[in-house]
Amino acid sequence: MVEKESPYKKYLREERLPHIFCPGCGNGTVMSTFFKGLEGTDIDFENVAMVSGIGCSSRIPGYAKCDSLHTTHGRALSFATGLKVGNPDLDVVVFTGDGDAASIGGNHLIHAARRNINLTVICINNNIYGMTGGQISPTSPKGSFGTTAPYGSRDMPFNLAELVSAAGASYVARWTTTHPLQLSKAIQKGLENDGFSFIEVVSQCPTYFGRKNKMKTPLQMFEWIKENSINKRRAEKMDEAELEGKIIVGEFANNPHAELTDNIKKLAEENSDKPLAIKSAFEELD
């Protein structure tokens, strides 16, 4: 008998539902789009290991029915690097947010991209620190309000997709929660790419970003994101003034090149007559 429930629920730890996300939070949508993207690949869900840092988006792995490592703030990519290098056969996926990846974890982000390590990073960018109650983040738009920017943010925000592309990632895309089909496709491509894949998802935080910025309901935020999204190809023909406040969506990099764990494996093959060591902790000495 087929259970009459969401087709994405089977991937979740049912005993932990409903999840902690606020009503209308985009995190749940990103979870489903991830599973849809995964279904488009040959990857076995049993072989997926998720890693995350701290923040609302980093709670996602805790709901997925696979091995998951919920680590320290900003450091998910360091843990993921160890996990992937330790066992390159695992499909390692990192869920992170704008504060986690771009602020406290910014250095790890650019270095993981530089190494082109085969990880799929899904960065849910809601332009605010949600878990701590609405502080301004490194991607908050200029002029937006947060509890630590009561007069409006005057800082220049990061353009994450551009940043990570410049750092050397081999696949980079940006979509929003209002583009779930395009987003699933980008996640699928990211999972299939043999290198560092970064998918930025602009998402709504109605509870904090919305409330502080005159968009009190999830739908108002949802509509705001939808209306301001512009496809990259169209954006390329527009000038800076026209692009002010717009969310450029599309593919930013698709440039497969040498990958870290392959390089390590080759180095071991050139220097040793043994296969690459994995799971050495369980191994008895000869």
Partner 1 sequence: MVEERFVQGNEACALGAIAANCRFFAGYPITPSTEIAEQMSILLPKYGGSFVQMEDEIASAGAIIGASWSGMKAMTATSGPGISLMQENIGYGFITETPIVIINVQRGSPSTGQPTMSAQADMMQVRWGSHGDYEPIALAPSSVQEFFDFTIKAFNLAEEYRVPVTVLADEVVGHMREKLIIPDDIEIVTRKRPEKVDGQYLPFDAPCDGTTPMPAFGDGFNIHVTGLTHDERGYPDTNDPDTHTKLVERLCNKVLMHRKDICSVKKENCDDADIVIVSCGSPYRSVGAAMKKAREEGIKVGSLKIDTPWPFPEEEIAEIAKTASDIIVPEMNLGQIVHEVERAAHGEANVHLIGKIGGILHKPDEIYDKIKEING
Partner 2 sequence: MIIIDSKLCKGCDICIATCPKNVYSKSDKVNTKNVYLPFPEHEEGCTKCGLCELSCPDQAIYVEKEVE
CA separation for the pair 95, 37 (Å, rounded) = 14
Which amino acid makes up residue 134?
G
- 95 binds partner 2, rule: CB under 8 A: no
* Nearest-10 crossing angle of helices 160-167, 106-115: 40
Pick 86 or 152: Cβ nearer partner 1: 86
Which amino acid makes up residue 155?
D
Pick 7 or 245: Cβ nearer partner 2: 7
Residue 118 interacting partner from partner 2, partner 1, none (CB closer than 5 to 8 Å by kind):
none
- In degrees and rounded to multiples of 5, residue 210 shows phi and psi of -60, -50
Among 26-34, 234-242, 248-256, 275-283, which window interacts with partner 1 (CB under 8 A)? 275-283
Question: End-to-end alpha-carbon separation of the chain, Å?
Answer: 51
- In degrees and rounded to multiples of 5, residue 244 shows phi and psi of -50, 120
- 267 binds partner 1, rule: CB under 8 A: yes
Pick 150 or 275: Cβ nearer partner 1: 275
CB of 49 to partner 2, least distance (A): 21
Question: 253: which 2 tokens?
Answer: 């990099």
Binding mask 46-75 for partner 1 (x = CB under 8 A): xx-x-x---------xx--xxxxxxxx--x
CA separation for the pair 81, 79 (Å, rounded) = 5
Residues comprising the chain, all counted: 286
Q: Which of 22, 11, 144 lies closest to 136 in space, CA to CA? A: 144
Question: 227: which 2 tokens?
Answer: 């209306």
Site for partner 1 in 182-241 (CB under 8 A): none
- 36 binds partner 2, rule: CB under 8 A: yes
Pick 32 or 81: Cβ nearer partner 2: 32
Site for partner 2 in 189-248 (CB under 8 A): 206, 217-219, 222-223
Pick 74 or 250: Cβ nearer partner 1: 74
Residue 131 CA neighbour count, 13 Å, CB half = 15
List 32, 52, 96, 120, residue binding partner 2 (CB under 8 A):
32
Binding mask 47-86 for partner 2 (x = CB under 8 A): ----------------------------------------
Q: How many residues form the binding site for partner 1 (CB under 8 A)? A: 52
CB atoms within 10 A of CB 192: 15
CA separation for the pair 112, 219 (Å, rounded) = 35
- 16 binds partner 1, rule: CB under 8 A: yes
CA separation for the pair 65, 144 (Å, rounded) = 37
Binding site for partner 1 (CB under 8 A): 13, 16, 46-47, 49, 51, 61-62, 65-72, 75, 77-87, 89-90, 107-108, 111, 260, 264, 267-268, 270-272, 274-285
